[in-house]
Structure 1
């Protein structure tokens, strides 16, 4: 029961005197490390002597009020002190608190300070003291909820934050379960008269954490019969408290007979199910369990649990709404920003879309490649002002109108004029920049027109190098000003046409002309692969972007692919 110690402290003699006393006794060195613990204290703490020796009380028993400050004061001035403390011991369940009275004296020899001896006796707190301690814990929980719940817009994270908050302050075990459609589709239809929930989070005190895994883990689907406490809680939207020492009530609360046996084995004796409701309708339930020496749930406990569930519900509702919009945005992005199909077999196209804000997966940037008669094709790059679903909807209108106008075989500046008028008449309230190029069938020439968009870049094969097209300035679409003009550019076979949105080059504090000029240093990889080219462009220019980035690289090969021979 002891380790190396100063020779002036005879721990063997101490053990001979103190091993048999019913009071808990510990001897500490001047650094407040345990030198000796008697059997009574070992039993009370629930830890072997070896777990104490050489460590400080705060390290051995982190959930108790060890009052090391008081012990240091005793070391400093030699005046004995007494104090009443409380906390949770490893041998006890999570919410069970013990109270003890301790006396601390300084040990000296030949005028030299050797350490501190502590003598503790467990005491019973009176009802008023217990109620005061409980009120303090409740207030602490409610205060912590303001900063610990709802730190993200992810539903599972919010559920985990709620479960972790209430353990061990309010329960020994906590589970947060929600209706599956709010977080994921159900894996199978629920049987009749069964409530199916998805367990989003679970937490337990250290002594029970291993045993509760048999009840299921986060992500599992849990079925509750109609008479179960959880089902009744959701049906009435009111808390349901159960005494699990009653065999019949335990049978109803446990989904399966084997669960009832597990409840008994873990010593679970009381539970409370609290609805998590949004605008009067439950979206899930907070389940709390207590075991061992923890007291049964009081009315005050239930009030606090309901308040915490209500606060979590607000954040879960925000997360649910965000998830719903996020799903819509993602599907919209997939449908509108699907990679364009090459209009002809001898045309290569590569595209990328990179949102500046990873929490908003869709914005107003778009690109398109539209086949035209006589082997020509139209390439478009656009940027609707704003982000989110509204910008994506406006982008969809622009893209649809552009495809409609492309069938009229107009030059690019005339397409922009028509598009500008149609947007004004359609009531789209978001302006957009747009860059159009019409490439001839042989890829020798292309016509370029811009509506407030940044100029394209041409990367010619061989030593010719990189050209930034000088496109006449014109206002964005949706302004009604018009004034668009086309410019003819050489775009022979093998020349790469690179189009982009302003998020690629625009940087705060830098002139836009200087930003675009940096694109003059673009080069193709040695193998000429367009996908690799775009990866390198984003690696170089993407970091630091404050807006979405859309890029498209395309070229006409020297000759169309030969048709496959007839079998």
Structure 2
């Protein structure tokens, strides 16, 4: 019996098959459509780390693909496994409200409790306007932890075994995302403790270098990334600026971030050029198994001759805001990310020399500042380069203006990602 999709003839979609919560397919012409249903579920459910948002995505997916109405009830975020006295709370509703309104509270609770107790889907039948109303209740279960229950309602036609299994798959997928969200919330405090191990702000002021740093954690609760930035004072009055980003999020990314930072400090003390620091750091970190790769941008400032030597390991180029009001990204030779090793097949790290006038401002940043879903990275960089600074604005005021523009300006055709944002601005003030 084919899977029913709202607004489509039932014969237009093939059924999906689930074994032990995993969608599989038997040999035959319907295999492609069965896996297409799984791909649509993966794409539609769990796009954020918000449990209510995931519940809404699950309900919408069930109505779009499998039933007429759907509702998702969740336990509170701190309640965990269902115990006596705990109650479910409505989190999402989709589809025909008349079917939901006709489902009396007592039968709904009974079928939900039965599904929660059994740990697998339960079907119940009632009537609506003289027609049969079939209710399928599925627990949101992941790794022996129950997060709630989903109800799928259909008029006139029962769910067959394959359709029941497909609803079960979608519910388990939603529960897995809720488990991931819970782990991220639990890791949050430990990640922030790790961030305090090494200072991120400029360690001390330099009489000829103006510095400003801004860090904006990602908006979704508990989701923390591996961004970092810092300044190192080297010999002969030079200053090394560092902006880096470990790939991924969570506790593992924060641990690797601190490993990169401490190792880079050690390598930088040998007075190598920026590209030499990146090469040495890459060789050392790629020798450690299990490290996540990281992008990194180094800028060696020399106030005495008004220059900066720049080297990038897979990192976005900085933008220079000139004293005459123009701005643009610095053309850099970008090497491979740190931790990929010399066998990555990419060109080696190289340095670029950049003259900086007295009132020029160099702005380095992590990907979260300009990242937009559905927007090309060159378009995002062009928008940053198109910003104009007011006369006499300091480095901190410039960063505040940049963040205000990118965080507050509407983006109707693209959505900001859930990445951390780290931005660093520097300006040289050489002595006369």
TM-score (norm 1): 0.42
Match of 1:480 among 341, 346, 359: 341
Closer/same/farther in 2, CA of residues 467 and 403 from structure 1, 3 Å limit: same
| Offset, 1:472 | 0.9
- Asked if 2 retains the 8 angstrom alpha-carbon contact of 1:443 and 1:493, the reply is no
Cα deviation 1:179-215 (Å, max 9, x = unaligned): xxxxxxxxxxxxxxxxxxxxxxxxxxxxxxxxxxxxx
What corresponds to 2:138 in structure 1? none
What corresponds to 1:355 in structure 2? 217
- Distance in 1 between residues matched to 2:404 and 2:220, nearest whole Å: 16
Cα deviation 1:221-251 (Å, max 9, x = unaligned): xxxxxxxxxxxxxxxxxxxxxxxxxxxxxxx
Higher RCO structure (Cα 8 Å, ≥6 apart): 2
Closer/same/farther in 2, CA of residues 516 and 318 from structure 1, 3 Å limit: closer
| Offset, 1:148 | 5.7
Match of 2:420 among 548, 551, 554: 548
Instruction: Report whether the alignment pairs 1:471 with 2:332.
Output: yes
Would you say how many aligned residue pairs link Structure 1 and Structure 2?
Answer: 259
Cα deviation 1:439-464 (Å, max 9, x = unaligned): 11326111111111111111122x26
Closer/same/farther in 2, CA of residues 443 and 499 from structure 1, 3 Å limit: farther
What corresponds to 1:86 in structure 2? none
| Offset, 1:504 | 1.4
Match of 2:196 among 334, 338, 345: 334
What corresponds to 1:100 in structure 2? none
| Offset, 1:318 | 11
What corresponds to 2:367 in structure 1? 502
SS at match of 2:196: helix
| Offset, 1:343 | 4.9
What corresponds to 2:377 in structure 1? 512
| Offset, 1:555 | 1.3
Greater CA radius of gyration, 1 or 2? Answer: 1
- Distance in 1 between residues matched to 2:363 and 2:403, nearest whole Å: 13
- Distance in 2 between residues matched to 1:436 and 1:496, nearest whole Å: 15
5+ long unaligned stretches in structure 2: 1-71, 90-178, 409-414
| Offset, 1:391 | 0.3
Cα deviation 1:324-371 (Å, max 9, x = unaligned): 532212222334463222452332221122233431353111111110
RMSD: 3.1
What corresponds to 1:196 in structure 2? none
Cα deviation 1:72-124 (Å, max 9, x = unaligned): xxxxxxxxxxxxxxxxxxxxxxxxxxxxxxxxxxxxxxxxxxxxxxxxxxxxx
Instruction: Report whether the alignment pairs 1:530 with 2:387.
Output: no
Closer/same/farther in 2, CA of residues 538 and 425 from structure 1, 3 Å limit: same
Closer/same/farther in 2, CA of residues 442 and 522 from structure 1, 3 Å limit: farther
- Asked if 2 retains the 8 angstrom alpha-carbon contact of 1:494 and 1:558, the reply is no
SS at match of 1:332: helix
Match of 2:304 among 435, 442, 455: 442
- Distance in 1 between residues matched to 2:379 and 2:387, nearest whole Å: 14
- Distance in 2 between residues matched to 1:356 and 1:364, nearest whole Å: 11
- Distance in 2 between residues matched to 1:473 and 1:323, nearest whole Å: 35
What corresponds to 1:147 in structure 2? 73
Instruction: Report whether the alignment pairs 1:421 with 2:283.
Output: yes
5+ long unaligned stretches in structure 1: 1-145, 166-316, 561-567
What corresponds to 2:119 in structure 1? none
| Offset, 1:149 | 3.0
Instruction: Report whether the alignment pairs 1:458 with 2:330.
Output: no
- Distance in 2 between residues matched to 1:338 and 1:464, nearest whole Å: 29
- Asked if 2 retains the 8 angstrom alpha-carbon contact of 1:435 and 1:453, the reply is yes
| Offset, 1:533 | 1.7
